[in-house]
């Protein structure tokens, strides 16, 4: 058999249904997809146009970051440790500072960090998502991009409800792209009313697209819908607003009944343990959701919430927080955490047949990791090594659709020095407003 590329002599962590690990093994790539995976004993069945000798390094699926706001890299470290930060600080900040130019440059900057740490697919919700799409294409990353819809004027849609019209234009421009899945992202239960949410459901399901939304994230939201409907989840169910294409980020205010309702609805969850912890919020019952059959992905949230955009910062924190929640060392083993950070995220975003594991037919979205590093070796258990010991600097080479997007020399599609210079200019232009808002809210 012939292929374009073979990566050989690797420890191949497939994340397939049998949890196969080929050590040493290979992955054969034809076009943008995986054509073969197996032990080195089967390597010679393949005639490859080019070969990469992994030299014993780890080859695994790229990470899937299931919930981000990449352009918020422009505001990283602003307004931290503040009560009611979203309403008192962030919404006013965004109203004054978010422009098309900022989103373009800040998203490109953020994608360097994400790709360099091994993320090959990300889901984003923000304004001017068409600019995020252009940045993602430059960087060469796969993504699901949700144009934000809120019931008040937004940076890219001055009319109330304008986000849907903007989003539909965005979807029209990008639908069918090999890397970018465009969609709508209603901001939250408390910023978008039920009629608008139903319209978004109708549009999204009509086009076969996911819809991204913050759900059961904040204390006021929980208090309001607890009083009116018993819980946020029961409110959404009563309005017919839980459906298989819905990806709920956070989901920290859930009781046992809610977990059953979520599982029954077929919706997915993007779990953001670092962001939720920094906000002093309850721990999402992510282990129980996963056990109930809910498609569960992991996410950093945005650069002012997470704040690191590397998945290493959440893949170990997820099981640790679940162990704290359950007071049980056996809760959420490392293997389940690695799955949630890769295939689980892909499934949650509706890309489970496209990416997330190393199997024939899937896109060749994979990373080479130097596990012979002081912080990773020795390795007796690959899942434990990835979940608990791996750090961003261990990621060596990143492939998306078989193309190298990052290697030892850096990003292929992004001028990193220019991206840094752009961010310095953005920070200089934002610092006055950031300081003024800080003074007004402390």
Size of the site for Zn ion (CB under 5 A): 1
Strands (E), 299-345: none
Contact 118, 131 (CB under 8 A): no
Q: Please give the Cα distance from 71 to 303 (Å, whole number).
A: 8
Residue 274 or 343 having the CB closest to Zn ion: 274
Residue 8 or 301 having the CB closest to Zn ion: 301
Residue 284 or 369 having the CB closest to Zn ion: 284
- What is the pattern of x (binds Zn ion, CB under 5 A) and - over residues 151-180? ------------------------------
Structure tokens at 84: 């009611």
Residue 301 or 422 having the CB closest to Zn ion: 301
Structure tokens at 97: 């500072």
Shortest distance, position 407 Cβ to Zn ion, whole Å: 31
Shortest distance, position 216 Cβ to Zn ion, whole Å: 13
Q: Please give the Cα distance from 149 to 126 (Å, whole number).
A: 9
Closest residue to Zn ion, judged by C-beta, is: 301
Shortest distance, position 218 Cβ to Zn ion, whole Å: 11
Q: Please give the Cα distance from 175 to 204 (Å, whole number).
A: 12
Encode 27-48 in three state secondary structure: EEEECCEEEEEEEHHHHHHCEE
Residue 48 or 212 having the CB closest to Zn ion: 212
Dihedral sign of CA atoms 377, 383, 388, 391 in order: positive
Closest CA to 60 of 432, 385, 433: 385
CB atoms within 10 A of CB 409: 7
The pair phi, psi for residue 30, each rounded to 5°, is: -125, 125
Q: Please give the Cα distance from 297 to 426 (Å, whole number).
A: 31
Shortest distance, position 412 Cβ to Zn ion, whole Å: 29
Residue with token string 């193309």: 403
- What is the pattern of x (binds Zn ion, CB under 5 A) and - over residues 178-217? ----------------------------------------
Closest CA to 156 of 179, 189, 186, 127: 127
Shortest distance, position 352 Cβ to Zn ion, whole Å: 22
Residue 130 or 301 having the CB closest to Zn ion: 301
- What is the pattern of x (binds Zn ion, CB under 5 A) and - over residues 234-273? ----------------------------------------
- What is the pattern of x (binds Zn ion, CB under 5 A) and - over residues 278-317? -----------------------x----------------
Shortest distance, position 103 Cβ to Zn ion, whole Å: 15
C-alpha distance across the termini of the chain, in Å: 66
Contact 365, 107 (CB under 8 A): no
Residue with token string 């608990």: 388
Shortest distance, position 41 Cβ to Zn ion, whole Å: 46
Contact 268, 294 (CB under 8 A): yes
Residue 147 or 301 having the CB closest to Zn ion: 301
Shortest distance, position 212 Cβ to Zn ion, whole Å: 9
User: Which class for 399: exposed (0-12), middle (13-18), buried (19 or more C-beta within 10 A)?
Assistant: buried
Dihedral sign of CA atoms 144, 186, 244, 207 in order: negative
Residue 124 or 359 having the CB closest to Zn ion: 124
Shortest distance, position 69 Cβ to Zn ion, whole Å: 6
Q: Site residues for Zn ion, window 387-406 (CB under 5 A)?
A: none
Residue 187 or 406 having the CB closest to Zn ion: 187
- What is the pattern of x (binds Zn ion, CB under 5 A) and - over residues 331-350? --------------------
Shortest distance, position 67 Cβ to Zn ion, whole Å: 6
Residue 34 or 125 having the CB closest to Zn ion: 125
Q: Rule CB under 5 A: which residues touch Zn ion?
A: 301
């Amino acid at each position: 058999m012939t292929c374009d590329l073979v990566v050989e002599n690797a420890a191949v962590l497939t994340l397939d249904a049998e949890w196969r690990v080929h050590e040493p093994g290979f992955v054969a790539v034809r076009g943008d997809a995986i054509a073969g995976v197996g032990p080195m004993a089967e390597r010679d069945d393949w005639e490859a146009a080019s070969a990469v000798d992994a030299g014993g390094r780890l080859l695994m699926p790229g990470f899937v970051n299931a919930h981000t706001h990449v352009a918020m890299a422009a505001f990283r470290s602003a307004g931290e440790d503040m009560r009611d930060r979203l309403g008192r600080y962030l919404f006013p900040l965004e109203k004054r500072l978010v422009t098309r130019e900022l989103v373009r440059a800040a998203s490109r900057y953020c994608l360097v960090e994400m790709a360099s740490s091994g993320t090959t697919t990300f889901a984003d919700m923000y304004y001017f998502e068409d600019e995020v799409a252009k940045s993602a294409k430059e960087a060469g990353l796969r993504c699901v991009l949700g144009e934000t819809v809120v019931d008040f004027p937004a940076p890219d849609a001055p009319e109330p409800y304008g986000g849907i019209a903007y989003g539909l234009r965005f979807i029209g421009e990008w639908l069918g792209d090999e890397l970018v899945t465009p969609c709508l992202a209603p901001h939250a239960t408390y910023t978008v009313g039920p009629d608008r949410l139903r319209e978004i459901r109708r549009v999204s399901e009509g086009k076969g697209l996911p819809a991204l939304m913050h759900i059961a994230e904040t204390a006021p939201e929980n208090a309001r819908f607890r009083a009116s409907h018993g819980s946020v989840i029961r409110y959404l169910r009563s309005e017919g607003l839980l459906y298989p294409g819905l990806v709920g980020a956070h989901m920290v205010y859930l009781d046992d009944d809610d977990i059953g309702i979520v599982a029954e609805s077929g919706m997915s969850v993007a779990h953001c343990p670092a962001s939720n912890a920094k906000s002093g919020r309850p721990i999402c019952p992510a282990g129980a959701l996963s056990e109930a059959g809910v498609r569960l992905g992991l996410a950093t949230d945005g650069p002012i919430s997470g704040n690191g955009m590397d998945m290493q910062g959440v893949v170990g924190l997820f099981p640790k927080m679940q162990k704290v929640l359950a007071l049980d060392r056996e809760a959420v083993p490392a293997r389940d955490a690695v799955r949630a950070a890769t295939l689980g995220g892909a499934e949650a975003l509706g890309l489970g047949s496209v990416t997330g594991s190393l199997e024939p037919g899937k896109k060749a979205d994979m990373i080479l990791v130097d596990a012979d590093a002081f912080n990773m070796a020795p390795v007796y258990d690959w899942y434990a090594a990835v979940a608990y010991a791996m750090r961003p600097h261990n990621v060596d080479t990143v492939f998306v659709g078989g193309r190298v997007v990052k290697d030892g020399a850096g990003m292929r599609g992004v001028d990193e020095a220019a991206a840094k210079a752009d961010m310095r200019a953005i920070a200089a232009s934002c610092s006055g407003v950031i300081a003024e808002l800080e003074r007004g809210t402390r």
